[in-house]
Structure 1
Amino acid sequence: MNLTCNSTLEEMRISPGSEIILIGPLNFHDLARIIAAACTLIAVVMSLFLIWMHALHYTQPREQRYIIRILFMVPVYAIAAFAQLQWYWHAIYFQVISDCYEAFAIASFFALLCHYVAPDLHTQKVFFREIRPVKPWVMPVNWFAKCCGGQRGPWRTPKSGLTWFNIIWIGIYHYCFIRVTMTISAVVAQYFERYCESSNSPVFGHIWIIVLNALAVTVAMFCLIQFYVQLREPLAEHKLFLKIIAIKLVIFLSFWQASAISVGTSTLNIVHANRVLAYPDLKVGIPALLLCVEMACFAIMHLWAFPYAPYMAGAPPSFYPVPGADKAAPPLENGRSPPSGGFMGLLAIFDALNLWDFVKAFGMGMRWLFCGVKRRKEDVSYKLNSGDALDMDNLPEGKEGPSTYDAMRPGPGGAGPAAHDRYGPPMQQFGHQDALYHAGGRAAGGIEESAALMDNAQPNPEANSFRRDYSSPYGQPPPHASQESHRPHGAQQQAYYDPYQGQSQGQTAAPGGRTNAQARMGEALWGPR
């Protein structure tokens, strides 16, 4: 087996007279550089203008930071493609570094869709916990399911919307890790002359890195399309089809056209160098030129796909969707804040370029994959989606609480129809921000959603907050609770009945001769006695 890379672009140059003249004094290489430079200039100027306008009108940072990251994909690809064409003997470095950014573009688009659903991670989990039906996997996974046991096989559609959300989460964010790892591997292998971009022999790293990247991007794009199929109706106002086309075409063209030309010129020998096209132009020049032209087109397309007008002051308001099973609930408004982009939008751009949230998101997904998946069926969403009524006498401790999307609805006192939540005291006692906190873990403008990892079994993390301070809505303990129970930690406490914990603390029956279930139902409907 030949262990030597026979021909590399580093050893080849386009010498004068090696290509015939096409137009005036220009051969193909010179003509390609002029066209690529013009297209790159158009792509960069138009993309930077749109980025700057979003930064100046930075009124919804939760969404716009991801839009800015997506928009940066066009100038990154355009500049890298022109650099490949100009310095083709070092093209591999520009190619792998620019391709690495596509992983962050995919993850940014997924995060953008998540923030169209709800303002933070906890309320997103509330939304997906109650969404139903969960739509079947799109092809080809639905074909695999038919051949491998259907809903009993490994390709079955999850019953829980929250489990489905976690699978999509992992399928997309894993690509960031794999793509960055493969980029570093390609650069190191190229430095030690073991990459050999001109060969697809298995003794070199080129073919292996292409295969791993192809598998990872296929999984990520499948998950992104599945996410779009599930949410295209609730998020119809955001015109998702145009957005996903803008993302998918860039990734498809940038990866597959370069890979097809690489295979055709290396292993299959379909196309050969000639007097018009030298080998560097055939191998690098044509894919780079096509990419520069395509980026100019996508820069124009992004003006409609990711406009800045909806974020300007005075623009019509937008609303968060409600789960599929609760269409009668009024939607929650996606409010705007004063522009926070700083001088000339620099703070907004700095915020968008901070990619640490992707690292934390990948950690969340890995924790669920290795820990939470084992306990996923303990989540209440499995019972909600099975159609069974909830057993009020046997609610899983720590898994329930005011987890329904009802608590997010606007209404009198900030809680509306959720005033008599079946899991706790009347919600009129809370302001709107408190209702959001107990329903979604945080208020809309609270702590960053990535501050807490996804729970093992994905229970509602807000239930414990009710039990820790269940008396706070009333300003005093329930009438039947012992006052001694609120003494400092470590002091001797008298047993009392906690109506929000589903059992008696040191006794078997609730005060007044009622059973625990009767006490809970009565207090949920009419308040404490």
Structure 2
Amino acid sequence: MAVITIILQAFGKYHDGDFNVNGGYLYITIIYNFSVSLALYALFLFFFATSDLLRPYEPVLKFLTIKSVIFLSFWQGMVLAILERCSVIPNALFIDGHEVGAGTVAAGWQNFIICIEMFFAAIALRYAFTCTVYQEKKNDVIPPMQSISSGLKETINPGDMVQDAIHNFSPAYQQYTQQSTQDVTQQHGTNGKVSTGTKGSRKSDKIMLITSDDEL
């Protein structure tokens, strides 16, 4: 969709906030909105299906912080585009006197609001992704980073995603996740009620799951 957007812009068929049926923005927005909504629905289904297995990792705050940045920013931009279409966001004059369109003004508001929101998102991420899980393995020998270039290479390397996909869909991993789900369910009781437990018990569940995953 990003490539299609660039091509449409090159031919003058894409303008931010322009819902004209002869332009590409309307159709791009419809496809994006359908895709984003379907992805969010699928993630909710995934969470409900794996809630028992993921409970030791406390995924709710992680889910909300990451996905709110992605999904809410998209819908926020769409609302600003609608406001621009309804003439709520007017045109502006640049310093040298050249007129700046309402679409550019709406995009500027979107960027400004996102910068403000990222401050609060950073605070939420600090509590969602704590370092305590990794500190539990502080005795492990971690090789130092060779160079900045090697770190960047590992960051953009898609090989880990391919290996993770093969690992997740392998029969051995499916058997492991089923067994782990049964273990976690038994630890939380068999009377149909989930006990809150203590912080130490949740940490033990984390160690159990992480260690079992490493042993595969």
Mark yes or no: TM-score above 0.5.
yes
Pick from 275, 284, 295: which aligns with 2:118? Answer: 295
Match of 1:169 in 2: none
Conserved 8 A contact 2:92-2:105? no
1:272 aligns with 2:90: yes
- Post-superposition Cα deviations, 1:146-186, rounded to whole Å, max 9, x if no partner, equal xxxxxxxxxxxxxxxxxxxxxxxxxxxxxxxxxxxx00000
Q: CA deviation at 1:444?
A: 4.6
- Contact 2:13 / 2:24 at 8 angstroms: preserved in 1? yes
8 A Cα contact 1:341 1:348, kept in partner:
no
2:78 alignment partner, one of 243, 259, 276:
259
TM-score by structure 2 length?
Answer: 0.64
Match of 2:141 among 329, 332, 338: 338
Q: Structure 2: 5+ residue runs without aligned partners?
A: 94-99, 181-212
Q: Quick one: distance in 2 between partners of 1:313 and 1:346? A: 29
Structural mapping, 1:361-400, within 5 Å = none
**Residues 341, 301 of structure 1: CA spacing in aligned structure 2 closer, same or farther, 3 A cutoff?**
farther
Partner of 1:246: 65
Shift of residue 224, structure 1, vs aligned partner: 1.2
Tell me what 2:45 maps to.
226
* Cα distance in 2 between the residues matched to 1:359 and 1:236: 26
**Would you tell me which structure has more helix in proportion to its own residues?**
2
Q: 1:355 to 1:260 in 2, by over 3 A?
A: same
Q: Partners of 1:360 and 1:200 in 2: how far apart?
A: 42
2:32 paired residue number: 213
Using the TM superposition, give the Cα deviation of residue 236 of structure 1 relative to its aligned residue in structure 2, in angstroms.
1.8
Contact 2:9 2:15 in 1 (8 A): yes
Contact 1:195–1:205 (CA under 8 A) maintained in structure 2: yes
Residue in structure 2 matched with residue 187 of structure 1 by the alignment: 6
Report matched runs for 1:10-21 at 5 Å. Answer: none
2:156 is the alignment partner of 1:353 = yes
How far 1:193 moved relative to its partner? Answer: 1.1
Q: CA 1:405 to 1:310, structure 2 compared with 1: closer, same or farther past 3 Å?
A: closer
Q: Which has the greater radius of gyration?
A: 1
| Deviations, residues 457-508 of structure 1 (Å, cap 9, x unaligned) | xxxxxxxxxxxxxxxxxxxxxxxxxxxxxxxxxxxxxxxxxxxxxxxxxxxx
Structure 1 residue 347: Cα displacement: 4.6
> Residue 194 of structure 1 contacts residue 204 of structure 1 at CA under 8 Å; is this kept in 2?
yes
User: C-alpha separation between the residues in 1 aligned to 2:155 and 2:90?
Assistant: 44
Structure 1: where are the runs of 5+ without partners? 1-181, 316-335, 369-399, 410-442, 447-529
Q: Is the 8 A contact 2:16 2:103 kept in 1?
A: no
Partner residue of 1:286 out of 88, 105, 109: 109
Q: How many residues align?
A: 174
Find the aligned partners of 2:176 and 2:92 in 1 and give their Cα distance: 66
Contact 1:340 1:348 in 2 (8 A): no
Structure 1 counterpart of 2:87, which letter? N
Equivalent positions of 1:152-163 (< 5 A) are none
1:205 is aligned with what amino acid?
G
Shift of 1:287: 1.0
Specify the SS of the correspondent of 2:18: coil
Partner Cα distance (2:149, 2:134) in 1: 17
| Conservation of the 8 A alpha-carbon contact between 2:19 and 2:25 | yes
- Identical positions, percent: 21
Q: 1:201 maps to what in 2?
A: 20
